[in-house]
Amino acid sequence: MPITLADVEAELAREPVEAPGGYTDRDSLLYAVAVGMGRDPMDRKELEYVCETQGDRVLPSAATVLSRAKRVEGAGTGLGAKMNFALLLHGEQRLTLHQPIPRAAETLVSSRTTGVFDKGEGKGALVTSETDVKLASGEPLFTLGSTLFYRGDGGFGGQADGAPVPHPIPDRAPDTVCEMQGRDDQAMVYALCGDRNPLHRDPDFAKKAGFDMPILHGLCSYGIACHAVLKTMCDYDQARMKTFDVRFSSPVFPGETQVVEMWKDDVVVSFRVRIKERDVVSINNGRAVIV
Strand order in the sheet with 19-23: 19-23, 105-118, 125-135, 140-150, 88-97, 241-248, 280-290, 268-275, 257-265, 176-181
Catalytic residue among 43, 175, 195, 237: 195
Q: Is 195 a catalytic residue?
A: yes
- Give residue 89's pLDDT: 87
Is 184 a residue whose pLDDT tops 90? Answer: yes
Asked if residues 249 and 262 have their Cβ atoms less than 8 Å apart, the reply is no
Kindly give, in sequence order, each residue whose CB lies less than 8 Å from that of residue 170, ignoring residues fewer than 6 positions away: 263, 265, 270
- Give residue 75's pLDDT: 45
- Among the listed residues 119, 76, 83, the one whose alpha carbon sits nearest the alpha carbon of residue 7: 83
Asked if residues 232 and 269 have their Cβ atoms less than 8 Å apart, the reply is no
Query: Could you give all domains of the chain from N- to C-terminal order, each with its CATH number?
Result: 5-150 (3.10.129.10), 176-290 (3.10.129.10)
Mean pLDDT of 192-199: 94
Looking at the whole model, is its pTM more than 0.75? yes
73 confidence band (pLDDT: 50, 70, 90): low
Compute the distance between CA of residue 166 and CA of residue 286 in angstroms, rounded to an integer. Answer: 8
Q: Is 200 a catalytic residue?
A: yes
Catalytic residue among 21, 91, 182, 218: 218
Residues of the chain with pLDDT > 70, as a percent, come to 97
pLDDT tens per residue, range 121-157: 989 999 999 999 999 999 999 999 999 999 888 999 9
Q: Is 215 a catalytic residue?
A: yes
Torsion of Cα atoms, 220 then 222 then 223 then 229, to 10°:
150
Compute the distance between CA of residue 59 and CA of residue 66 in angstroms, rounded to an integer. Answer: 11
- Give residue 76's pLDDT: 46
- Cβ–Cβ contacts within 10 Å for residue 89, how many? 13
Catalytic residue among 3, 215, 283, 290: 215
